Structure 1
Amino acid sequence: MQDKPDRSDYQDTEFQRLLVEYADMVERGDRVDRDALAREHPQYANSICEFLDNHVLLRAALEDPNDSGSGNDLFATINSPAEMNGSGSIVWSLARLSESEYPVQFGNYSLKREIDRGGMGIVFEALDCKLNRVVALKIIRSGELASAEELRRFRAEAEASSAIKHPNIIPIFEVGEVHGLIYFTMAFVDGEDLGALLRRQSIAPQEAAKMVAKVADAVATAHHNGVIHRDLKPSNVLVDQKGEPFLIDFGLAKQQSREALTCSGQILGTPTYMAPEQVSGRPIEAPMSCDVYSLGAMLYELLTRQPPFRGPTQFDILLQVLDREPPRPRKLNKQIPRDLESIVVRAMEKAPSERYSSARQFQEDVQRFLLDEPITRSHPSIADRLRTWWRREPILVSHLCGILSVLLIVVGAELVRQTPSPDTQLKVSLLIAWLASSFLFQRLAVIDRMTDIAHWTWAAFDVATYTTLIYLADSPRGLLLVGYPMMIVASGLFYRVRFVVFVTTLCSIGFVMLCALVDDPIAKRLDFSVIYMSGLVVLGLCLVSMIRRVRGLRDYFGGNAP
Structure 2
Amino acid sequence: MPMTPEDYQQACDAFDHASQLSPAERSGWLAAHFADRADLRQQVAAMLSQADDSRLDHSPLDAVLTPDSPTIGWDTVTAVPLSADKIQVTGYEIEAEIARGGMGVVYRARQQNPSRTVALKMILAGQFASTDEVARFRIEAEAAANLTHPGIVPIYEVGSHDGRHYFSMGYVAGQSLAAALKTRSFAPDEAADLVRQIAEAIQHAHQHGVIHRDLKPSNVLLDEQGRPQVTDFGLAKRIGDDTDLTCTGQIMGSPGYMAPEQASGRVHQVGAATDVYGLGAILYALLTGKPPFESDNLLDAIDLVCSSDVTPPRKHNRQIPRKLETICLKCLHKTPSARYHTAGELAADLHAYLNNEPIQARPLSLLERIVFWARRRPGLAITWAAMLLFYAYHLFCVWVVRDPVSSAPLFQVISIATALGYAIGAWFFQRMYEKPRRRSAAIYLWMSMNVVLLTMLLFSANGAASPLVLGYVLLVAASGALYQTGLVGYVTAISLIGYYIHVFFSLVFPKGPPFDIHWTICLSLTIVLLGMIQYFVVRKIRMANA
Could you say which TM-score interval applies, normalised by the shorter chain?
A: 0.5 to 0.7
Letter in 1 for 2:540: M
Shift of 1:406: 1.0
Change (3 A) 1:470 1:191: farther
Give yes or no for contact 1:140–1:154 (8 Å, CA) kept in 2: no
Taking the aligned partners of 1:550 and 1:495, their CA distance within structure 2 comes to 12
Partner of 2:543: 549
Q: Which amino acid aligns with 1:176?
A: G
The CA distance in 1 between the partners of 2:397 and 2:136, in whole Å, is 68
Which structure has the larger Rg over C-alpha atoms? 2
The letter for the 2-side match of 1:507 is S
Please provide the CA RMSD for this pair: 5.7
Out of 389, 408, 412, the residue aligned to residue 396 of structure 2 is 412
1:349-360 aligned at under 5 Å gives the runs: 355-356=339-340, 358-360=342-344
**Matched residues in 2 for 1:209 and 1:446: separation?**
36
Q: 1:248 to 1:535 in 2, by over 3 A?
A: same
**Per-residue deviation at 1:87?**
2.7
Q: What letter matches 1:250 in structure 2?
A: F
Measure how far apart 1:402 and its partner are. Answer: 1.2
Q: How does 1:123-138 map to 2 (within 5 A)?
A: 123-125=105-107, 127-128=109-110, 135-138=119-122
Q: Which amino acid aligns with 2:203?
A: H
Q: Unaligned stretches of 5+ in structure 2?
A: 1-44
Distance 1:331 1:504 in 2: 42
CA distance, structure 2, for counterparts of residue 461 and residue 209 of structure 1: 51
Identity %: 20
Alignment of 1:480-495 (within 5 A): 480-495=468-483
| Deviation for aligned residue 1:342 | 3.3
Q: Tell me, yes or no, if structure 1 residue 177 matches structure 2 residue 160.
A: yes
Distance 2:133 2:454 in 1: 57
2:142 aligned to 143, 156, 160, which one?
Answer: 156
Q: Distance in 2 between matches of 1:484 and 1:93?
A: 52
Asked if 2 retains the 8 angstrom alpha-carbon contact of 1:239 and 1:246, the reply is: yes
For residue 551 of structure 1, what is the amino acid of its counterpart? N
Which one of 473, 490, 496 corresponds to residue 461 of structure 2? 473
Shift of the 146–541 alpha-carbon distance from structure 1 to 2, 3 Å rule, reads closer
What is the CA distance between 1:479 and its match in structure 2? 4.2
TM-score (norm 2): 0.62
Going from structure 1 to structure 2, the CA distance change for 1:440 and 1:382 (only over 3 Å counts) comes to same
Q: Distance in 1 between matches of 2:97 and 2:282?
A: 32
Task: State the partner residue of 1:117.
Answer: 102
CA offsets 1:274-316 (integer angstroms, 9 cap, x no match): 779x96859x9xx755532443466679553159xx989x9xx
| Letter paired with 1:87 | S
Q: Confirm or deny: 8 A CA contact 2:284 2:313 kept in the other structure.
A: no
Determine the structure 1 residue equivalent to 2:87.
105
Per-residue CA shift, 1:160-206, capped at 9, x if unaligned? 45x2223xx44545433324554213437897896x999xx9x99x7
- Cα contact 1:396–1:442 (8 A) shared by 2: yes
> Could you tell me whether the CA contact under 8 Å between 1:293 and 1:348 is conserved in 2?
yes
| Residue 71 of structure 2 is aligned to residue 83 of structure 1 | no
> Which residue in the other structure is 2:411 paired with?
423
Q: Is the 8 A contact 1:214 1:245 kept in 2?
A: yes
More displaced 10-residue stretch of structure 1: 460-469 or 489-498: 489-498
Q: Give the corresponding residue for 2:385.
A: 401
Q: Measure, in 1, the Cα distance between the counterparts of 2:499 and 2:173.
A: 64
Tell me the CA shift for residue 454 of structure 1. 5.0
Report which stretch shifted further, 518-527 or 357-366. 518-527
Q: Aligned-pair distance for 1:103?
A: 5.3
CA distance in 2, matches of 1:250, 1:100: 24
The one-letter amino acid paired with 1:433 is G
Q: Which residue of 2 aligns with 1:535?
A: 529
| TM-superposed deviation, 1:433 | 3.4
Q: Supply the distance in 2 between the matched residues of 1:413 and 1:355 (Cα, whole angstroms).
A: 44
1:510–1:104 Cα change, 3 Å: farther
Is the CA contact 1:346–1:355 (under 8 Å) kept in the aligned structure 2?
Answer: yes
The equivalent residue for 1:346 is 330
Task: Provide the C-alpha distance between the structure 1 equivalents of 2:444 and 2:180, rounded to a whole number of angstroms.
Answer: 33
Q: Quick check: 1:516–1:523 contact (8 Å CA) kept in 2?
A: no
Partners of 2:442 and 2:65 in 1: how far apart?
Answer: 56
The aligned residue for residue 219 of structure 1 is 199
Query: Once the 2 structures are TM-superposed, how far is the Cα of residue 100 of structure 1 from its aligned partner?
Result: 8.4
Match of 2:105, SS?
strand
Residue pairs, 1:93-492, within 5 angstroms: 95-98=77-80, 104-107=86-89, 108=92, 110=94, 115-118=100-103, 122-125=104-107, 127-128=109-110, 135-139=119-123, 145=131, 153-160=139-146, 163-166=148-151, 169-172=152-155, 174-179=157-162, 181-186=164-169, 187=171, 214-224=194-204, 226-227=207-208, 229-234=210-215, 237-238=218-219, 247-251=230-234, 262-263=240-241, 270=252, 273=259, 281=268, 291-296=275-280, 303-305=291-293, 327-330=308-311, 335=316, 342-347=326-331, 355-356=339-340, 358-363=342-347, 365=349, 376-378=360-362, 387-415=371-399, 416-417=402-403, 420-421=407-408, 422-442=410-430, 445=433, 454-477=442-465, 479-492=467-480
Tell me how far apart the structure 2 counterparts of residues 402 and 33 of structure 1 sit (CA, whole Å): 61
Tell me how far 1:399 sits from its aligned partner. 1.6
Could you tell me how far apart the structure 1 residues matched to 2:136 and 2:463 are?
68
**Taking structure 1 as reference, are residues 395 and 209 closer, same or farther at Cα in structure 2, changes over 3 Å only?**
farther
Unaligned 5+ runs, structure 1: 1-27, 38-44, 56-78, 255-259, 553-562
8 Å CA contact 1:239–1:245 kept in 2: the answer is: yes
Is the partner of 1:137 in helix, strand or coil?
A: strand
Aligned residue runs from structure 1 range 64-75, under 5 A: none
Deviation at residue 89 of structure 1 after TM alignment: 0.8
Deviation of 1:398 (Å):
1.5
Quote the Cα distance in structure 2 between the aligned partners of 1:341 and 1:417: 53
Structure 2 match to 1:48: 56
In structure 1, what is the equivalent of residue 14 of structure 2?
Answer: none
Amino acid aligned to 1:427: S
Cα distance between partner residues in 1 of 2:99 and 2:46? 26
Q: Secondary structure at the match of 2:340?
A: coil
Contact 1:216/1:295 (8 A) holds in 2: no
Cα offset, 1:545, TM superposition: 0.8
TM-superposed deviation, 1:455 = 4.6
Q: Distance in 2 between matches of 1:366 and 1:29?
A: 48
Q: Match for residue 23 of structure 1?
A: none
